[in-house]
Amino acid sequence: MFSDLACVLLAMGAVTWLRSLPALGQHPPEDDLGFSLLVLPVFGLIFWAQGLYRRQNLLGGTREYAAVVRGCSYGLIAVILISIGLRRTASREWLVLTWLLAIVFVGSARFAIRRFAYGLRRHGRFTVRALVVGADADSVAVARLLGLRGSGMRVVGFLDDYTPTGSAMAGGLKVLGTPSALAQVAKRTGAQEAIVVPQALPWETVQSLLAEVTSAPNGIRVHLSAGFYDLLTAGVQLSYRNHVPLLTLNKARLTGFESLFKRSLDCVAAGALGVALLAVVGVTAFRLRRAGASPILERRRVLGISGREFDQLSFISHPFTRSELIRKLPGLVNVLLGDLSLVGPRPVGVDERSATRARAPFPGLRPGLTGPWRQAKDPAEQALLDLYYIRSYSIWLDLQVLFRRAIVRLPRRRHVPRAA
C-alpha cells in the first residue's frame, strides 16, 4: 500500500511539474500538493476495494495488473467528483496524464516487487506448505508442477482413500493419511493450503470434504484442481433457469477482439524477431549446408487450428543447432503464415493422433511455438499446463509467458571458483 500511494503521489507530482514548465505556458495552482494529499487516502480505499491487497491476487497471474487499471480509473472518477465538490478546477490534461502515469508507476512498482519476491521464492521464501488430496497420475503431475522452483508452494504430502498411508509417491513424498484426516494432517505438517484433485477421489469423499472445509473454521485454504479436460477446458459460467443455478460450459474459443489482438501480437513480434535474428538464421543455414546437411530444415506434420494439418519448420538436429532457440527459429515462418501462434498449446503431431484424440486437443486455438508447456517434459504435465493456459487465457498471460521465456534465454553469469 505504501508503494502504491507513493507511486500515485509521484504521478501527481510529475504532472504538476510538467505543467509548471515555461515551455508549456501553464502554471499549476498553489494548492496542488495539498489536493494530492487530500485525494491520496481515497486511492488507498479504492485499491483496497479492488482486491489489490488480497493474498490470492498478489505475486502471480494477471488479475493484479487488471485491478491496478481499474483502481486508477475509479480513482480518476473520485478525483473529478472531489474537485466538483470543492469547486476546484482540474484541467483535463492534468487528469488524463495523472491517470496514465499512475497506471504506469503503480504497475511498474508492483512488477518490480513481484520480481524481487520471485527471487526470494527461489531461496525458499514466500512459500506456503500444501497437501494434495488424491493420489493418481493427475495428482502426481499437479504435485510436480507445484514443486517447481519459484512456484510459491511446497507440497508436503498426499491424502488418499485407496493408497495406504506411508506409501511413497513422486519426489519422495508420501501418503500421510486419508482425506477425512485433512485437518489433523494439516495441523501436524503445518500445511496452510490443500489442492483437491476431484477425479482422483470417490464422489462421496469429494462431497464430504467440500462440506467440511466450507463450514469448519480450520483456516485451511482449499483449491480444486481443474479436471475433465474435454469439458472444462475453457471454464464455466453460472447461469439461472427458473431459479435453478446451472453451470454453463464455455467453448475453448477466443473472443473476436482477443483473436485480433493475439494475431497482431504474433505478426509484430515474429516479424521483429525475424529481422533481429536474420543474421543468426543465415549463418546457421550456411553452416549446415557447408557441413553437408541436406535438407537443412525439418518438417514435422502437426495439427493446427480446427484440426488442419501443416508442416512445422525447424532446423535439423546438428551440433550447430544444440540451442533450442536457434533450432526453432524457422517456426517464425509458421507464425507469420498463421499456422502457429507465438504462445499457445503444445503442437500435437499427426503421429500422436491416436494417443490424444482424432483431432487437435484445442480445435479453436493455434498451437504455440512456445507456451507454459515448455516448463515440463512429461506429456501428462504438458497437457495439464495447456489446460491451465486455456482456462486463464489473456493477452497479459501471453506477454508474461514471452517475458519468462526471454529471461530463461538470457545468458547467466557462471560462478568461477577462485584458485587456492
Mean pLDDT, the chain, rounded, equals: 81
| pTM over 0.85, yes/no | no
Q: End-to-end distance of the chain based on CA atoms, in angstroms?
A: 49
Say which residue, 124 or 274, is predicted with more confidence: 274
pLDDT of amino acid 217:
62
Give the model's confidence band at 332: pLDDT under 50 very low, under 70 low, under 90 confident, else very high: very high
For residue 47, is pLDDT > 90?
A: yes
Mean pLDDT, range 109-130, rounded to an integer: 85
Contact 336, 267 (CB under 8 A): yes
Give the model's confidence band at 387: pLDDT under 50 very low, under 70 low, under 90 confident, else very high: confident
E strand spans, 242-308: 244-249, 297-303
For residue 124, is pLDDT > 80?
A: no
Grid coordinates of 383:
497437457
Contact 58, 18 (CB under 8 A): no
Q: What is the pLDDT of residues 313-328, one digit of tens each?
A: 999 888 777 778 888 8
295: preceding bond cis by omega (within 30 degrees): yes
Q: What is the pLDDT of residues 61-104, one digit of tens each?
A: 778 888 999 999 999 999 888 888 888 776 777 788 889 999 99
> Could you give the percent of the chain with pLDDT greater than 70?
83
pLDDT of amino acid 30:
47
Q: Which superfamily is assigned to 128-225 in CATH?
A: NAD(P)-binding Rossmann-like Domain (3.40.50.720)
Cα–Cα distance between 177 and 164 in angstroms, integer?
8
Instruction: Give the β-pairing of 153-159 and 175-177.
Output: parallel
Q: Give the lowest-confidence range in 46-50, 218-222, 343-347.
A: 218-222
CATH 3.40.50.720 intervals, the chain: 128-225
Q: What is the pLDDT of residues 146-182, one digit of tens each?
A: 877 767 788 899 999 888 888 888 778 889 999 888 8
